[in-house]
Amino acid sequence: MNNKPKIGVYVCHCGINIAKTVDVEAVSEFASRLPNVKVARNYSYMCSDPGQLLIREDIKNEGLNRVVVASCSPRMHEMTFRKTLAETGLNPYYLEMANIREHCSWVHEDREEATEKAKKLVFSAVAKARLLEPLYENEVEVEPATLVIGGGIAGIQAALDIADAGFKVYLVEKTPSVGGRMSQLDKTFPTLDCSACILTPKMVDVASHPNIELLAYSEVEEISGYVGNFEVKVRKKARYVDVNKCTGCGVCSEECRLAGRIPSEFNAGMGNRAAIYLPFPQAVPAKYTIDPERCLMLTRGKCGKGPKCEAACAAGAIDFNQKDEIVECKVGAIIVATGFDVFDAAKKPEYGYNDYDNVITALELERLVSASGPTGGNIVLGKGEDAFVPQEVAFISCVGSRDKSVGNEYCSRVCCMYTAKLAHLVKEKLPEANVRVYYMDVRAFGKGFEEFYDRVRREGVRYIRGNPSEIFKRGDKLVIKAEDTLRSTPIEDEVDLVVLAVGLEPRRDARQIIDLLRLSQSADRFYLEAHPKLAPVNTATDGVFLAGCSQGPKDIPDTVAQAKGAASSALVLLSSGKVKIGAQISFVNEATCRGCGYCVEICPYGAIELVTVNRMGNMVQVARVNEALCKGCGACSAGCLSGSIQQKSFMDRQILPQIAVLGGVK
């Protein structure tokens, strides 16, 4: 059918949004005289039910086979009108929209000129509508499983929600245990819940959930495929301990020749561990791991007269011959929950973090005040004879945040509150200590935060408005040079302990995931969400979602909320079981494609690959588009020098006439 185009044009008033500036009557009258236009009408709200009914009636009664709606941006209602067409049995891609609101009435004042422009826009839409072709959407099945990368609170929460909904989860955690930063914290603001008490039950659930396969001490090595059908390779690093035999008794660690000689990552360097270790007592899985970079046996092939760990292990779990294992899985969705790193305080040398042992970061203080920490929760600095309990304690806020000089312009969102929390804990443990917080602004924006800040001040924590400029030692005191800005007075404050409220930064290995998943970064270098307001857990890659601090600094409540959001987005995909693949995607004319691979480079979604085909007896390379990955952005066709890659609905022969009407090239 459809041989001869019969076009209906519908000019929308959008209340007065359009009609105020554009003479809609004149535009529809103009349209009615354009070639191939069968009917042209104007109506107050085309998107309303009666508006859509107009179109449906005309398709039925007038035999229309193309529709042009002149209204708002296609981002608003293209889908609405496509459905309208589909309801009558007409292929929905026989629709063309002319944007006479955002592109015309909203940006112009002169009614006459705006009307002329609207006519042109309608004319060009009609020019293209004549050349439209029917398109068909495809569907692919969704693999009912999810990969969660990162086992912090974000990854744990997302994994549990998806698993509880009945779908399989592969949870990949880089370090020997799940838990992330939250496991390092003592109490949590503003409620002062014990961090371990609320986190460890979830860690245990993750390990025992029948739908979760926990791949700890593992890293994702390769991801291919597309939404609904990702193929993943995970490297399970050798622990050199047979997890099936290890009982977690810890005798090996006590016996290790290097016991107490390796800085413990978990204790942020405030305590030491052995070469064979459990990061912390409640680690999940509770299996020991040998650090291959430190262990004498693994680095030098020799550990004294023989590995003491092996001799000590009654279960015979030590296995120096263990190899990395590659685990392959298929998933329909991926959640990235890789978290953050704390700002490296050495990048602000004026604070002397590298020079003075009693200038520490907040994370280090978390370990000091924690009952499971190296001092059993006592705030003691220095070792042996030098050990002392600080009397004068100062916190410095915004270290590495809101600071152009270190390239971090953003606010880290949690430091103000964790400072208040830690100040409170210091006061609680050392009631005689004088505690002050140097700040430039206090941001207590969350539920219960301002109340907590009030409480901490009333407990006697002094807030001094001024961000310190430098720290140096005078005798055995640290001197903080600052200005009390409320008094306009420069001061030198002598203290025993300085705690730097270090900000949150993208992980230093963030590139790894970017390269695996082609994620983008926002200006702050965190992973970029698809839309800051309306798609905060999505990414530009379909089927890949973000949760937690990998997307930006967040406290635990926000992290958990976002993780639940990411889980629900993944579940939408998994439970529908199918994904639609866009119709307006690119295709290659293999007869003219020169196989230069230029489009392969250009495509931001990695949708194109070069394949070898037999072209009349010659084996040649040509581009091929993976329809599931193509987003129809058109970048490839704009770049192709031979015009061999074209995007459906936007082919050269469709859009050039459209442009010509607007005064462009013929």
Partner 1 sequence: MNTETQSFIQKYDLLGCVQCGRCTGGCPEAMRTGLNPRRVVYDALEGNVPDELAKLPEIWDCTTCNTCAARCPKGLKPVDVLIGLRNILVESGVLQPTVRDALESAFREGNPWDKPRATRGDWMKGLDVSIAEPGEKVENLIFVCCTICYDPKVQVIAKNLVKILNKAGVDYGFIGDDETCCASEVYNLGEVGEEGLFEMMVEDNTELLNSYEATRIVAISPHCYSALKNQYPNLKADVIHYTHLVKELLEEGKLELTGELPKKIVFHDPCYLGKQNNVYDEPRYILSRIPGAEIVEFERSKERSLCCEGGGGKMWTESDSKEERLAETRVKDARALGAEILAVACPFCVLTLDDALKAKGFEEEMRVAEILEILGDLIKE
Ligand X SMILES: Cc1cc2nc3c(=O)[nH]c(=O)nc-3n(C[C@H](O)[C@H](O)[C@H](O)COP(=O)(O)OP(=O)(O)OC[C@H]3O[C@@H](n4cnc5c(N)ncnc54)[C@H](O)[C@@H]3O)c2cc1C
Binding residues for partner 1 restricted to 487-506, rule: CB under 8 A: 488, 490-492
Alpha helices in 462-593 (DSSP H): 510-517, 556-576
* Interaction partner, residue 171 (partner 1, ligand X, ligand SF4, none; CB < 5-8 Å by kind): none
Q: Choose which of 56, 235, 236, 257 interacts with ligand SF4 (CB under 6 A).
A: 257
Site string for partner 1, 350-389 (x = CB under 8 A): x-x-------------------------------------
The C-alpha atoms of residue 387 and residue 29 are separated, in whole angstroms, by 90
Nearest to 187 by CA among 516, 349, 421, 414: 421
Binding residues for ligand X restricted to 180-199, rule: CB under 6 A: 180-182, 185, 188-189
Binding residues for partner 1 restricted to 325-354, rule: CB under 8 A: 349-350, 352
The C-alpha atoms of residue 514 and residue 57 are separated, in whole angstroms, by 50
Measured from the CB atom, the residue of 158 and 599 that comes closer to ligand SF4 is 599
Sheet with 434-439, side-by-side order of all strands: 359-361, 497-502, 392-399, 434-439, 462-465
Q: Beta strand pairing status for 7-12 and 37-43?
A: parallel
Binding residues for ligand X restricted to 203-222, rule: CB under 6 A: 219
- Establish if 555 lies at the interface with ligand X (CB under 6 A): yes
The C-alpha atoms of residue 263 and residue 21 are separated, in whole angstroms, by 71
The C-alpha atoms of residue 249 and residue 261 are separated, in whole angstroms, by 20
Tell me how far, at minimum, the Cβ of 629 lies from ligand X, in Å: 22
- Establish if 307 lies at the interface with ligand SF4 (CB under 6 A): yes
Helix (H, G, I), strand (E, B) or coil at 4: coil
Q: Choose which of 223, 398, 502, 645 interacts with partner 1 (CB under 8 A).
A: 398
Asked if omega into 190 is within 30° of 0 (cis), the reply is yes
Measured from the CB atom, the residue of 154 and 398 that comes closer to ligand X is 154
Judged by CB under 6 A, the number of residues near ligand SF4 is 30
- For residues 189, 193, 197, 198, the Cα torsion angle rounded to the nearest 10 degrees is -70
Q: Residue with structure tokens 């050269």?
A: 652
Which amino acid, 621?
Answer: Q
- Establish if 362 lies at the interface with ligand X (CB under 6 A): yes
Whether the CB-CB separation of 100 and 26 falls below 8 Å is answered with no
The stretch near ligand SF4 (CB under 6 A) out of 47-55, 218-226, 268-276, 365-373 is: 268-276
Q: To which H or E segment does residue 26 belong? A: helix 24-32
List of residues 6+ apart from 230 with CB closer than 8 A: 143, 147, 223, 224, 330, 331, 332, 333, 334, 543
Measured from the CB atom, the residue of 11 and 607 that comes closer to ligand SF4 is 607
Site string for ligand SF4, 419-458 (x = CB under 6 A): ----------------------------------------
Tell me how far, at minimum, the Cβ of 135 lies from ligand SF4, in Å: 14
- Establish if 8 lies at the interface with ligand X (CB under 6 A): no
* Interaction partner, residue 512 (ligand SF4, partner 1, ligand X, none; CB < 5-8 Å by kind): ligand X
* Interaction partner, residue 352 (partner 1, ligand SF4, ligand X, none; CB < 5-8 Å by kind): partner 1
- Establish if 175 lies at the interface with ligand X (CB under 6 A): yes
Helix (H, G, I), strand (E, B) or coil at 331: strand
> What does each C-alpha distance from 4 to 1, 8, 38, 661 come to in angstroms?
8, 13, 11, 20
Task: List interacting residues with ligand SF4 (CB under 6 A).
Answer: 256-258, 274-276, 290, 295-297, 303, 307-309, 585-586, 602-603, 605, 607-608, 625, 630-636, 647
Task: List interacting residues with ligand X (CB under 6 A).
Answer: 149-155, 172-175, 180-182, 185, 188-189, 219, 337-340, 342, 362-363, 366, 414, 418, 421, 507, 512-513, 548-549, 554-557, 559
